[in-house]
Each structure stands twice: as C-alpha cells, then as structure tokens.
Amino acid sequence: MKRDYYEVLGVSRNATSEDIKRAYRRLARQYHPDVNQGDSNAAEKFKEINEAYQVLSDEQKRATYDRFGHSAFEGANQGNYGGFGADFDPFADFSNFGDIFDFFFGGGTQYRRERRPKATKGQDIKIEITLEFEEAARGVEKEISFSRTEICSDCQGIGGKKKVACPHCQGKGEVRHTQTSLFGSVVTSRPCSYCQGRGWIAEDLCSSCRGSGKLKKERKIKIKIPAGVDSGYRLRVAGEGEAGENGGPPGDLYVHIKVKPHPVLERKGSDLYYDLELSYPQLVLGDEVEIPTLRGTEKIRIPAGTESGASLRLRGKGLPDPRIGSRGDQIIRVKLRMPRRLTLEHRQALEKLMELERVENSLEGNGDNRKQSGVFERLKEAFNRPE
C-alpha cells in the first residue's frame, strides 16, 4: 500500500508550495542514486520522493489527490527511476541561479501573490455543412447536430449535491503563509489548491459527471441561413460553444458553409452566367428561346443581328447579396453553334448565301471578302472536315 504523499515528503497538508519544494530538495539530495550508489533502498526511496513531488508540486494534481487520494492516479505514470518525467522540470519555478541558491541555502524570500481563477468564456466550436445551390440561392432553415461540453444538469456544474465551505481555506479561496527571515516576516498568498481558489468544494460526488461538473452531449438546433450565401461564408451562433470555466459564459458556434455548384449556371459573386449556343440563322434573324433561371425556365428574345460572343443581361435575375440585400444579374453569353452534319439542300443554300454576300461586298468596293464572310467560311470548313 502506498504511503501518503505528504508523509513521504514530511510536510503537512496545509504546506505551501515553497514548503514542498524545500522538503523535496532536502530529501532528493539525501537519497539521490548518485550519492548512494549500490543502495537499492535509497533508490526506491528516491523514486517514492520523486513521485510524491510530481503530484504535490502541481496545483491541479494536488487538488485531485487531496480529494480522491491515490485512486485518482491509478495506472498513470508518476515518474521513472533516477530522474524526472519528460514534462517535469524541478527548476521550472526559478527564474535564475540566485533563486535556486536561495531555495537550497535559505536566502532572501520573494513576495508573490498568485491570482485566483477567473471566469473564462468557453471554447468556440467549428462545423461545416454543405448546401445545394438552390438552398443557398433562396436561403434555408437547417437543423444541424454537433457535440459540445455542457454544464451537468444534475449538479448544476457543482460536481456534487451541494457546496460546502472549503475546510483548508475556510471559504476564503486562498491560503496565506508567513515566512520569517533576517529581514523580517513576509506573507505570501496563493489560491487554495484544495478548492482551486473557489472557496468551496462539492459534497457527495455527482454520479452523472463524476465530480467534473460537465458532460459531453449531442445537441441539435435549427439555424437560418440567409439567401445568397456562397462557399466560405461563416455563420456565427452565439452561446452554442463549449461550456465556460469557473462560471464563465459558453463559447460560440461557427458554421462554415460549402455550396454545391449548379449544373448549368456559373456563379461569379451575385451574378449568374449561362452559355447559350445559337445557330447562324437564329443570330441573323433573331429568335425566341428558353433558358434556365433560378425561378425555372424563362423565354427571352434574341434580337436580330446578334453576334457570336455578345452578352445579354437580365437585370435582377441573379443572386441576392446576403450582406446588403441587393440582387445581381443573369448574363447570357451567346455562342455560335456549328452544325455537325449538313444536307445537300442546306449546303447549297449556304453556298448561295455566301455568293450573294461576296457580290454585295464587291459592289461596295470591299476587297476583304474573307473578313466579311468569315462565318460562311467557318461553316464551309466545318462541313468539309473528315468525319
């Protein structure tokens, strides 16, 4: 059976961190394996001293040990032979060599008052959801689920059935210690390690949260996503993050939006783009065609003489801007659709039209017939290509 850690170091349960350090240094020098080579009893004693100091020198570990004893550390690696753990530095609390010298040989005492734990806001939570293009365009209410730490409802975050005044600090939340030296008495104050500076402890451990005061739970909420959001948009939901510390408020939930692309419409900001392929007769003579929009299929009029590469703008047919509420446009990008096959009748008609255009250009004195009849030349080349 393990000895009490305070007994191992020869200090009382009300000992300050300075008392514990002094006791450890004294015993470590006495039982160190380098000083007692070949003495297995000294080696075991040193290991026991090291284990006790690693727990009692840490505020959180000490508070846990004070409440639950050795059972709280069963299975944990408290140390190893002849030295210290990977994250253990016995000189960490000393800022220079003078501090170490004072500690070992009783030099000047430094006054220090440690702050009591403050109420702090809980951690934020980040999740990502994916929307269909139409959902992002119109806006949608979504139910989302996520995991977060909440205050235990059974004990209201206390960790037990009720609060009682801490017996170590008499409910003050701090412990004072007076040291006397050649220069007089110095009073030091630090948060009580037993109650972690709160001034109270929980009586009768809560069976739901096992004394932690918190539980991990799955939560479902509904959120409203404004119309017009795009991938990269971030929505903040206040107060839906992790529970706070020491009575602090919970953190926030940040929902990162990802939007699936539309099958035929291209988005650029709040504007939508659609590529419309038309035949040469449609461009020359004009036509009425159907195009897809956010509100379904819509008929538009193609003016006669529209050139390939031209753009037609439909005002207010784009996406709303979630920041300012204005709506973008839908832009129709017109492209010439080159036919893959041509009947003899169609070919003769196009050749006749090309001949008429050449005659017209000749009468107008324009020698650059290739430039004027470029469309016909491209049509001719397209149909003379081998299959």
Share of residues in the chain with pLDDT > 90 (%): 40
On whether the CB atoms of residues 248 and 120 are closer than 8 A, the answer is: yes
Among residues 84, 98, 15, 12, the alpha carbon closest in space to that of 51 is found at 84
From 59-63, 302-306, 331-335, the region with the lowest mean pLDDT: 59-63
- pLDDT for 164 beyond 70: yes
Band the pLDDT of 185: cuts 50, 70, 90: low
Record: fold of 266-336: HSP40/DNAj peptide-binding domain (2.60.260)
Domain ranges of the chain: 5-105, 125-259, 266-336, 344-384
Q: Which two tokens stand for residue 301?
A: 């009029």
- Prediction pTM value: 0.58
Write out the chain in H/E/C secondary structure: CCCCHHHHHCCCCCCCHHHHHHHHHHHHHHHCCCCCCCCHHHHHHHHHHHHHHHHHCCHHHHHHHHHHHHHHHCCCCCCCCCCCCCCCCCCCCCCCHHHHHHHHHCCCCCCCECCCCCCECCCCEEEEEEECHHHHHHCEEEEEEEEEEEECCCCCCCCEEEEEECCCCCCCCEEEEEEEECCEEEEEEEECCCCCCCCEEEEEECCCCCCCCEEEEEEEEEEEECCCCCCCCEEEECCCCCCCECCCCCCCEEEEEEECCCCCCEEECCEEEEEEEECHHHHHHCEEEEEEECCEEEEEEECCCCCCCCEEEECCCCCECCCCCCECCEEEEEEECCCCCCCHHHHHHHHHHHHHHHHHHHHCCCCCHHHHCHHHHHHHHHHHCCC
- pLDDT for 78 beyond 70: no
State the pLDDT at residue 361.
Answer: 78
For 301-329, what is the mean pLDDT? 93
| Model confidence pLDDT, tens digit, residues 173-183 | 888 877 765 55
From 57-61, 186-190, 246-250, the region with the lowest mean pLDDT: 186-190
User: Cα 288 to the chain's mean position, in Å?
Assistant: 51
Class of domain 5-105 as given by CATH: mainly alpha
- pLDDT for 81 beyond 60: no
Q: Which residue has the higher pLDDT, 171 or 80?
A: 171
| Model confidence pLDDT, tens digit, residues 322-375 | 988 789 999 999 999 987 787 888 888 888 888 887 887 777 665 454 444 455
- What lies within 8 Å, CB to CB, of 146 at 6+ separation is 125, 127, 218, 219, 253
| Model confidence pLDDT, tens digit, residues 82-136 | 333 434 444 444 444 444 444 444 444 444 555 566 888 999 999 999 999 999 9
Using CA atoms, how far residue 176 sits from 35, 114, 193, 318, in Å, is 36, 11, 12, 69
State the pLDDT at residue 172.
Answer: 87
Q: Which CATH architecture has domain 125-259?
A: Ribbon (2.10)
Highest mean pLDDT among 29-33, 57-61, 157-161, 233-237: 233-237
Band the pLDDT of 66: cuts 50, 70, 90: confident
